[in-house]
Structure formats: C-alpha cells, structure tokens
Amino acid sequence: MKWIRERDALIAQTLAFVQSVAGKKDDFRQPDTATAAPVLAAEIVSVQAVTMAFERVPADPPPQVVPSPQPLPLPAPRAGTDFRSEMQTRIANFRKHQERFEREREEYCAATLTKLRAAIHEAAPPARK
C-alpha cells in the first residue's frame, strides 16, 4: 500500500502549498510604474517534512460492521385476467395516441400545402423575354 502513502503525502503537500499561498495574499503589491516587477512571496516546504507530519496523524478507526436489512416481502402474484385486461387497456390507449398523432400530422401537412399553393398562385408570373 505504498501508493496510499504517496497519495496522502501529495495531498498534504498540496494542502500546505495552498495554505501558504492563501496566507500570503497581502504580500502581492500593485506596481507603481510599468517597469516595476510585482513581488511574490511563497513558502517552500519539503516533501519529506510534509510526509513526516502527515504520518503522525492518527489513522481513521476501522469501519463498523452494519447488519444487513431484512429483504422486502414479494408482492402478491396477479391474476391472469387482471393482467390481460390491463394490457388491453394499455394497447387501446397507445392506439388512440398514435391515431391522434397521425391526425395532427395530416392536418399540419394539409395546412402547409394550402399555404404553399396560395403563395404560388399569388406570386406574379415570371416575365417573358
């Protein structure tokens, strides 16, 4: 599990870097002239120091074992006629829905063709040369 320690050390190093940058916000100064260089202050922390500081932190306690919940009771089986009538109702509703869509498409197509024909008849005939 060496990778876990390496990951934890990287996290600790990143946290130390963020804290050092966040704590030094007041050290940024706006230059008075265009030639002046901004001043930047940062704290440098070695990886070994962060790793050693992180390893001193006590480990998390082992997870508690939780008993598994009781399974839910199964629903009562349906009667064959109930299932059949439900399917017939659903199929009838689906057919009505599809018929409505088809009717709306036909109406839209007829309206669009009517507008198109009216626009063609209203347009001036092309000039003959």
CA distance 110 to 22: 68
10 within a domain of the structure (yes/no): yes
Number of domains present in the structure of the chain: 1
**pLDDT digit string, tens, across residues 55-111:** 665 556 666 777 777 777 777 766 667 888 999 999 999 999 999 999 999 999 999
14 within a domain of the structure (yes/no): yes
Tokens 């870097």 label which residue?
17
20 within a domain of the structure (yes/no): yes
H/E segment holding residue 35: none
CA distance 45 to 9: 12
129 within a domain of the structure (yes/no): no
- Which of residues 89 and 34 earns the better pLDDT score? 89
CA distance 8 to 55: 9
74 within a domain of the structure (yes/no): no
79 within a domain of the structure (yes/no): no
Domain hosting residue 9, numbered range: 2-31+38-55
- Which of residues 89 and 127 earns the better pLDDT score? 89
**pLDDT digit string, tens, across residues 94-110:** 999 999 999 999 999 99
User: Whole-prediction pTM value?
Assistant: 0.33
CA distance 52 to 9: 9
118 within a domain of the structure (yes/no): no
